[in-house]
Structures are given as C-alpha cells and as structure tokens.
A and B are shown apart, each in its own frame.
Chain A
Amino acid sequence: MPEAAKSNSESLKKLYHDMLLIRRFEERAGQLYGMGLIGGFCHLYIGQEAVVVGLMGAAKQGDQQITSYRDHGHMLAQGLDPKAVMAELTGRSTGLSRGKGGSMHMFSSEKKFYGGHGIVGAQVPIGTGLAFANQYRGNKAVSLTYFGDGAANQGQVYESFNMAELWKLPVIYVIENNHYAMGTSVKRSSAVSDFSKRGSSFGIPGINVDGMDVEAVQTAGAEAMEYCRSGKGPIILSMNTYRYRGHSMSDPAKYRSKDELAEYREKRDPIENFGKKLIDRGLVNEQDLKQMDAEVKKVVVQAAEFATESPEPGVEELYTDIYA
C-alpha cells in the first residue's frame, strides 16, 4: 500500500476507534452510575459519537474546544486519558479536576479543552471569547464551540453571534441537534427548526451536516475551519444527530417513541455504519474490528478499575483552588 493511502487508512481506523472508545466508555459509565459509584448528574453521549470524533479529525493542534455538560465524549476525542476522565466521574482525587468538577466540569489546559459547563448556553459566549483571544494574539487557532438544540434558544447565543460576526472571530458554532432539549422536542421548542439558519440575521453562514456520518462531519469540519482560519469570521455547523439514552441517567425518555429510537439505532448508527464502510473498502475485516473492540473494552475496564480504586479527595480540598 502506498504511504499516503496507508496514512489515510490509519486515520480512518482512528475515527472508528475513537467512536468505539466513547461508546464503550459511556456504557461503562452508565453501569457505574447504576452501581452508585458515580453520583450527581451523568449525561451520556451514546449515539452522537460521530460529531465530536469527525470534528477532531479535522481540527489542528492549538484549536480550542468547549461544550456543555454532555462532555465525556469530547474529552476522550481529545485524547485525554480515559482513566482520568472516569476517575472524575467517580469523584476521585485522580480525576481531571481532582474530583471537584464531576461529570459536567472537566478541563484540560494542555489539550485546550475549556470544559464542561453546567449552565445551558453559558459556554457559547465563553467559546466566542476563546476565538477573541486567538484574534487578539494573532494566531490561527479556531474555537470549536459546541451546544445543543436546547441551548440554541438561549439569548446569550445570539449576543455571541452578533459580536462574533461583527469582529470576525474565528469560531465554529457546532449545534448538536439531538432533537430533544431534555424532554422537549425541537418541534415543541423552536420556531425555526433548521439550525443552520440561526445565524442568518447576523450574516453567519450555516451548513447542515449528517451528524451520524463521521466522514461527512469531518469534511464539513475541514471546510468550516478553512473558512474561519482565512479570517472570514464565524460559521455554524448544524449536526443532525441523536442520543440513544435519556437526557441524564434518571430519564426514561418516555417523550419519544421506541420506533423513532430504533430507526436511528438500527439504520443510522454511526459506528455500525462506518465499520461496514471500512470493511467494504477492504481496509479492515470483521476480525480486525472485533479485536479493536476487545482492546477498547480492556482500556475501559482498566479505567473503571482505576476510577473505583483511587482515593476520594480530602476534606481540605474544599478550601483549595478558590483563590489563586
């Protein structure tokens, strides 16, 4: 196989691997939650894996990322250690935030991941500020600011859109439309349900993307990043995706039909479909994928062990990291 094709094949396999890692990690997290080892809120990313993995496949080093509370997948896609992510979920001192942030608040200054925010929509002006910092410093980095269809109705989102376009800030607004703002469907909450149009009154272009297709996401991501890096200002990527689980662990998701969920799981699953594509193109065989799954499961089991065996933070931690 020629070098270029080999490298391409490796990067495609990495996309598959990263989506699978998120899927298996989240399944395990759900299990630990059920065992009472994870407390508080826990929002799983299962079903939406192609969005963050596809975009990371297009991002460059130095690009920043910020999202809401459904953030485990974003951490893993950054290449952060699954052990440190899982240990944060279980509130241990070895977690990314030393057990003080939990599921919704994780950060990595090294990887330029700015959280993990628990207030719906608050990450949008902050992500716009990251782009402001890029422009202020004159670097070519882009801020990937993720939010959901629910947050897309927050006022501060539009305040951000206005400033981002006014000042031509390099920010990609990634709207992860999983069709439900907690339990309220887009139909019941949004006057205009085509989220790619949400920037139109500010002159911000938007692209509709099949968020269940990792390659489509990567292609759209690369296009958007090129747009931002060339100084044209912000752009919106509206990701059509779906979450398989409830909003959080305590949500039985009675507001949607089983048929609707089955439609996505059986026909549009991002991992299943992409695996088939890789086999069809002759890049892998069934056995390779099974082996990859076994390796990923092993990593996740080790993460869970680490996260349950690590010590909890000491009481004195209540008084640290408050004032610098």
Chain B
Amino acid sequence: MSTEILMPALSPTMEEGKLSKWLVKEGDTVKSGDILAEIETDKATMEFEAVDEGKIGQILVAEGTEGVKVNSPIATLLADGEAPGAAPAKKAAKAEAKSEDPKSVADKGTQKSETPKFQAPSDPEVPEGTEMVMTTVRDALRDAMAEELRRDELVFLMGEEVAEYQGAYKISQGLLDEFGARRIIDTPITEHGFTGLAVGAAFDGLKPIVEFMTWNFAMQAMDQIINSAAKTRYMSGGQMTCSIVFRGPNGAAARVAAQHSQDYAPWYASVPGMKVIAPYSAADAKGLLKAAIRAPAATSPLSAIPSPWARRWKPPRSWRKRASMPK
C-alpha cells in the first residue's frame, strides 16, 4: 500500500515552506537517507531525506511551490510491486477529517472561537499617506546592524554562530561577507566569558553588539550584564562608559519547556543603568536597534518570540532616510 510523504517541519518555528526542488522523479527507487527534495524554511534551504524505502509514486506538489503547509502530502511512496499512480492512501483523508473534528465540535457550540489577531498601532510619527514597504522582523534587525556597522568602525558583532553559520536564527545573514571576521565574530559557547570580554571592549570605547542565541542562555552572563555593564558608569562617577547592546530572542517559545521559555524583560528592567527594549513590529525592531547601538549606555533589546521574525510588516518606504537620525 502506498504511503504519503508529508511536508516536514524543518525548524521549530516553521509552519509552511517552499518546495524548491525535487531531487527524485516518479518511478525512482529510494532508500532511507536519500535526499528527496530541497525545502526552503523561514531560515534556510534544507535537504529533505527519505525515511522509508520504496518507489516514488506520484509527486503531488510541483517544485517551486510556495506556502506548502507542514504535514500536507507532497508525494506518495509505493511499496514493493505496487503500480505507480495507485490511489493515494486513505490516511490523508482520515487526517484531514481528523483536523476538521475540533472545528465541528466547536460549531456545535453556541459561538465559534476566533484566534485573536494582533493589529500593530500605526506610528503617530509616520505622516499620513507615507508609502510603506514590506519586510520581516528578521531582515529589519539585520539591516539595522548592517547600517550601523557601515556607519561606525567601532561597532562589531559577537556571539555564538553569528558569522559562518549566518546566525542561529539567521538574523546576521550576510554580515560576515560584508564586514569580515574582524567585526563579525563567532565565539565559543561561553556566555559568561564573552559577555565580560565585550564589556571590557566597551569600557575601552568599542561598541559591541552581543547576540545571545536566546535570552535564556544570557543567564550564565547575568553578573557581567548587571554588575559590570549596567553599574560601572555610576560607580565610576561617570568616568567609564559602556556603550554595548545585548540582543536576542526572548519570551515563550513553542514546546521547548521551562528553561527555554522565559521573559527576561522585567528582570533587566529593574536594574538601574540598563535600558530594555522589547520591539514587536519590524519598524520598531529596526529603529530601536539602531538607536540602541548609538546609545552611550548599556542597552538590551529583547526581541519578541521567534515566530514573528518571519512575518511581514510594513514600515515606511522612506525608512532608510528616517532611520538616519540626527546626530
């Protein structure tokens, strides 16, 4: 009996993806471990491997198709001796029916519950009629850093996987190519150490951006963030300045349990000497990150949960102009 090959979730935040390329065709024999297709997630293009052995029956989703939902059938796999073009397994219909179930149950109720939708309030500073462009939070963060790296030689980015891996969550994609290994620096997995190191560089007048893969891991570095970065200006009577930005994703994430699902904003916001920023929209993320990099005090922009990164937002088209703030 033929089985279905389903669109895989290739990252914890992936809900849909693009089927970029099929590497097999109908009638091909595959064994487990063979690469079936290339799939583009919200972060990268990934190879999709076969789990079971068999022969490719039908290809249900053509290559180049965007927005293919996770768990939807993309091909069929035939068992030994089965003829190609056999009827798709009933399993799919079953799964579909199953997914309908909660809805029909809800319909039986008096009211249909709707997912609340977030509507970002319009920025009062954006004049009426301003033309808007679409961008993602991810790209907005990257563009903010790239613009500031171009503007100021003292700015550098440091963290785990920020350079060659192009960012654990692909925020720093492309920065290594443009700015080189001197300014886009991969660190060992030593949050406490590299945070303190960046604080030292900031005391000496450099302007580090420290990326934490998520804020959960910054807990290892909390002493350096609070006791060194935030408090030294006060304790030195204003002699030492620590112009440093700590950034990373913060808050609840899907199905990763308590150690990876914390909101640190109120923790850090209760520390004098530290500014905490929690942007949501792409426009806020870009503008506030740029402002944070230029600020002469320790700042910690905590990005929202990973999922909104890939969502598209509409900042004004004239963003670049607006973003270059008065000195």
Contacts and interface: CB of A to CB of B under 8 A. Distances in A.
B182 interface: yes
**Majority secondary structure, A binding face:** mixed
Interface string A124-136: 1111111111101
B200 A125 contact: yes
B184 to A, nearest CB: 13
A78 interface: no
Contact of B197 (A99, A114, A160): A160
Interface residues on A, range: 35 or more
A129 B202 contact: yes
A129 B197 contact: yes
Interface in A284-317: none
Interface residues on B, range: 35 or more
Given A100-B234, A132-B197, A125 B297 contact: no
A156 interface: yes
A263 interface: no
A155 B228 CA distance: 17
A203 to B, nearest CB: 15
A130 B188 contact: no
B76 interface: no
Contacts of A96: 237, 239
Nearest to A141: B204
B224 A122 contact: yes
Contacts of A166: 188
Interface string A76-115: 0000000000000000000111111100011111000011
A132 B201 contact: yes
Contact of A122 (B196, B205, B240, B273): B196
Nearest to A112: B204
A159 interface: yes
B296 A324 contact: yes
A154 B257 CA distance: 30
B272 A128 contact: no
Contacts of A107: 232, 236, 239-240
Contacts of B275: 323
B104 interface: no
Interface of A: 64, 66, 95-101, 105-109, 114-119, 122, 124-134, 136, 143, 155-156, 159-160, 162-163, 166, 320-324
5 contacts: A96-B237, A122-B227, A159-B192, A163-B197, A324-B243
